[in-house]
A = this chain, B = another copy of it.
Amino acid sequence: MPPPLIFYFDFSSPYGFLAAREIDSLAAARGRAVDWRPMLLGAVFKRNGVRPNLDVPLKGAYTRHDFARAGRRLGLEVRLPEPFPFSSVAAARAFYWLCDQVAAQAKAQPHARPQAQAQAKALALALYERAFLAGQDISRSESVLEVAAAQDLDRTALADGLQTPAVKARLRREVEAAIDAGVFGSPYLLVDGEPFWGYDRLPQVAAWLDSGGW
């Protein structure tokens, strides 16, 4: 089995949301799994001296317009929560906490990681939908816990998890690893080492996988 695609995203990224909805089925149709790696775009931007598009005068207005238009095309009424952008630290920590939890429970199984991620991906999509479909907050720990509870996850254990040094350190490591891998935006995909930046690159990713590259 070829290695999984690596899907870097930030929970505060509107186009990350659109990509997250589609990437697993796009890859699965081509016999590939996807490893999801939430990271913090703020830290990435800081390192690269980049401002997010939404902060740039004309680009910001266009990006809001384009995101709504991209949503309509998919039959979705997308929204940006207020305030925007927002901190995605709690959401990202919750994701990795859940990965670690399920992986620990399934330690005996050699292929634990994909199973561990299935639950974490479901949580991620629920968080993303709260932010960009319901237009509600996912920046506060309390909001993340609500979404997790609605997914039948252990609210108390997660509340503790969000505060543990190991989970905080895990997210910091993941952000550093993303920066080291060259990630500078969200969504950002690595397909056998080949980088694709942006939701609008998904058709090209599909073509790349179909053809074996060009």
**Residues of A that sit less than 8 Å from B by CB:** 48-50, 56-59, 61-62, 65-66, 69, 72-73, 182-185, 195, 197-198, 200-201, 203-204, 207, 214
Contact = CB atoms under 8 A, between A and B. Distances in A.
A200 B61 CA distance: 19
A58 B185 CA distance: 10
A61 B201 contact: no
Contact of A214 (B57, B73, B183, B197): B73
A27 to B, nearest CB: 19
Q: How many copies of this chain?
A: 2
A131 to B, nearest CB: 23
Given A69-B214, A203-B203, A195 B62 contact: yes
B197 A200 contact: no
Contacts of A203: 203
A49 B56 contact: yes
B56 A197 contact: no
